[in-house]
Structure 1
């Protein structure tokens, strides 16, 4: 594979390098060599373990090392988080089964995208992967029924989506519900990813679904190839800023046979994304890439995207806590665009000419006149650009 010059790991923090060596189960001598470095800050090491969501695996592995190089307080701290995560995953598993029963008995098909079902599928143990909520996909036409069911169960909607001319249907991809008593958060998806862009129809995904072995009542999730491409696309969209997403890819490539059907990769225009994920996994975790897929890695675009992803790992970027630093926000915007297929880029540029909720906020019009936002959009956009930036340092769209 011609990828040696394109992914530079030398700029990673020492603590991240040590974390990676432990996760990929390097020799004790190699791990002890890194851990003995006096420049290792063990509190920083713990911070990285939490940030990258790898502390469950780390805790299991450092316990098995039988080495005195890693301080006992590090192992104890990881163990505390490991136990807390196990309890949370058990709670999420129970709620996942309950929601699945509730929806299926009310004729709403649902496919779980992440959470305990993926932990069981990839690792065979729900305690080995973290999850903060339950994400699942349903047909968009069944959203009102699903919302009514959840409200009956005590869930409250986080109604953060602003919309004009029904653009929520394709600009956004999920809505969040929170239970004030249990503290559990649900994300109902009607798309796999934010739009605009083509995706497989829900019922095509439903035809290829798998059933989890974790629960008594049926819980369904994406078929093997669909799940792999979803995890790849999700990780890529977040810049692989958490190593857990790459650890999932590493695990997938190690324990699942016939992972990728090339026709599905082309259908979802994901060749460059799959290539990026496999190249990063290979470089970071020494993941063995199937011979028939190695040509993905040799594409120049794949190597460039993999090199760009190192930006996030070098800086411990957290995309979930806006506002982002200006340099991170600018880099991430450009990186997201570079990830798009040509078709998706065309749709993305075309979407700029579709009215935004900011247009309605700038010039409120009666709903019957909302069509006027199309010809008025350039003027409204120019007006906002002339104003001062918001507190976040960004102008409205």
Structure 2
């Protein structure tokens, strides 16, 4: 399908959807660098019978409008209908302005936390874009994510509230015991903030996520804040150097989030490909950490997706482990089928449940995942009764009862 077809060492089925020329063109454009082989393939694709409206539709859905515009404008813009090229150009400019504004907001937030002496780390969003793409305009994102230690969450939350941020789940009236239980079971507070900068995104409002863990705890793939802080690398945002996760930990995070969301966007695969192609990954370290944390299968099938769809070259150490575990190829095949399927064919709750189980190579993690999913209260559970009218055990009984009423006996994902 793309330049790396000849390099494939594992064959995977492709759905009828991925064989459409519009999707093949999107895959060819899903990168920051277009070589001569891809350029020739793009030339062939844009000159055949083509559904340009469908291309725009899937590019928008998968967060690929900016890369699509850059690739087409740099190769064969004359072959693109003017109305389509204009639409892509307009969206590219809107995204660039939005990303610039959000990058400025992130720097303001980092300064705010520094002044309050609260250690904080930005991740995903602008820092991922700078690290993997080298240009703030080339990746689509719409919110900001910051990470603090669990011991600093209350101070960080109160600091943001003092700056007129609005918390989306009102849990500040929990008792001290309930607050501790909430922090141990959850990973994020979501805030809505007004931007001081002009950008066309929800009337200048944006979501700020305050994390004290980067992976939901029910998912059973721990990446502790202390561990992440031991392996930071500098990245430049708007000419200013800030700390970012290492390429190895970024890969683990991206593969975990893609798996958790059952690979709903090509952008997630593109992020992985860009990290591999744009940074110096210590493959021994990333494989070691994935195995140690029970996420080797999770890492490998994400890398295999990036190879099969975007043509990323993988090291022999990764290929050996991919061949050793047949489930890696099967999981990647399933994810690839879902990626471009019609909405009616996206995985339901039961399919998501079993897909997640397959990605966990250790039985103990599979058991913990099932128990966590069934028993751990979510933000929705905590928010039902925020005034501490019930004992702590109530929230842990509420979760399975509420899910039983809502879904019957079907396995359900976290809400």
Contact 2:295 2:360 in 1 (8 A): no
Cα gap change, 1:62/1:333 in structure 2, threshold over 3 Å: closer, same or farther?
same
The equivalent of 1:350 in structure 2 is: 371
Cα gap change, 1:369/1:120 in structure 2, threshold over 3 Å: closer, same or farther?
closer
Contact 1:389 1:395 in 2 (8 A): no
Aligned partner (choices 148, 163, 169) of residue 158 of structure 2:
148
Cα gap change, 1:105/1:16 in structure 2, threshold over 3 Å: closer, same or farther?
same
Deviation, structure 1 residue 370: 4.5
* Partner Cα separation in structure 2 for residue 148 and residue 366 of structure 1: 19
| SS of aligned partner of 2:142 | coil
The equivalent of 1:278 in structure 2 is: 303
| SS of aligned partner of 1:185 | strand
Deviation, structure 1 residue 46: 0.4
Cα gap change, 1:59/1:161 in structure 2, threshold over 3 Å: closer, same or farther?
farther
Which segment drifts farther, 118-127 or 151-160?
A: 151-160
Cα gap change, 1:7/1:171 in structure 2, threshold over 3 Å: closer, same or farther?
farther
* Partner Cα separation in structure 1 for residue 228 and residue 406 of structure 2: 45
Cα gap change, 1:236/1:161 in structure 2, threshold over 3 Å: closer, same or farther?
farther
Q: CA RMSD in A?
A: 3.4
Tell whether 2:212 aligns with 1:205.
Answer: no
* Partner Cα separation in structure 1 for residue 55 and residue 149 of structure 2: 42
Contact 1:232 1:249 in 2 (8 A): yes
| SS of aligned partner of 1:177 | strand
Q: Which runs of 5+ in 1 are unaligned?
A: 318-323
Cα gap change, 1:87/1:226 in structure 2, threshold over 3 Å: closer, same or farther?
same
The equivalent of 1:320 in structure 2 is: none
Deviation, structure 1 residue 17: 1.8
* Partner Cα separation in structure 1 for residue 68 and residue 374 of structure 2: 48
* Partner Cα separation in structure 2 for residue 228 and residue 214 of structure 1: 20
| SS of aligned partner of 1:128 | coil
| SS of aligned partner of 2:351 | helix
Cα gap change, 1:294/1:171 in structure 2, threshold over 3 Å: closer, same or farther?
same
Contact 1:155 1:179 in 2 (8 A): yes
Tell whether 2:191 aligns with 1:177.
Answer: yes
* Partner Cα separation in structure 2 for residue 81 and residue 130 of structure 1: 10
Deviation, structure 1 residue 325: 8.0
Deviation, structure 1 residue 72: 1.8
* Partner Cα separation in structure 2 for residue 237 and residue 89 of structure 1: 25
Deviations 1:335-375 (A, max 9, x none): 2232234332121233367464799999999867554787x
Aligned partner (choices 313, 326, 331) of residue 288 of structure 1:
313
Cα gap change, 1:175/1:373 in structure 2, threshold over 3 Å: closer, same or farther?
closer
Cα gap change, 1:309/1:350 in structure 2, threshold over 3 Å: closer, same or farther?
same
Deviation, structure 1 residue 333: 2.7
Deviation, structure 1 residue 207: 1.8
Contact 1:82 1:127 in 2 (8 A): yes
The equivalent of 2:333 in structure 1 is: 307
Cα gap change, 1:388/1:9 in structure 2, threshold over 3 Å: closer, same or farther?
closer
Deviation, structure 1 residue 295: 1.5
Cα gap change, 1:157/1:364 in structure 2, threshold over 3 Å: closer, same or farther?
closer
* Partner Cα separation in structure 1 for residue 118 and residue 383 of structure 2: 35
Tell whether 2:140 aligns with 1:130.
Answer: yes
* Partner Cα separation in structure 2 for residue 81 and residue 396 of structure 1: 33
The equivalent of 2:257 in structure 1 is: 234
Q: Which runs of 5+ in 2 are unaligned?
A: 1-7, 196-203
* Partner Cα separation in structure 2 for residue 29 and residue 265 of structure 1: 38
* Partner Cα separation in structure 2 for residue 180 and residue 365 of structure 1: 27
| SS of aligned partner of 1:246 | helix
**What's the TM-score, normalizing by structure 2?**
0.80
Contact 2:273 2:310 in 1 (8 A): yes
Cα gap change, 1:344/1:30 in structure 2, threshold over 3 Å: closer, same or farther?
same
Aligned length: 382
Cα gap change, 1:370/1:344 in structure 2, threshold over 3 Å: closer, same or farther?
same
Which segment drifts farther, 167-176 or 149-158?
A: 167-176
Contact 1:384 1:396 in 2 (8 A): no
The equivalent of 1:16 in structure 2 is: 23
**What's the TM-score, normalizing by structure 1?**
0.84
Contact 1:139 1:190 in 2 (8 A): yes
Deviations 1:161-194 (A, max 9, x none): 7999665334432121111454122111111111
Deviations 1:208-257 (A, max 9, x none): 11222225665322122111211121122122221111111111221222
* Partner Cα separation in structure 1 for residue 372 and residue 269 of structure 2: 31
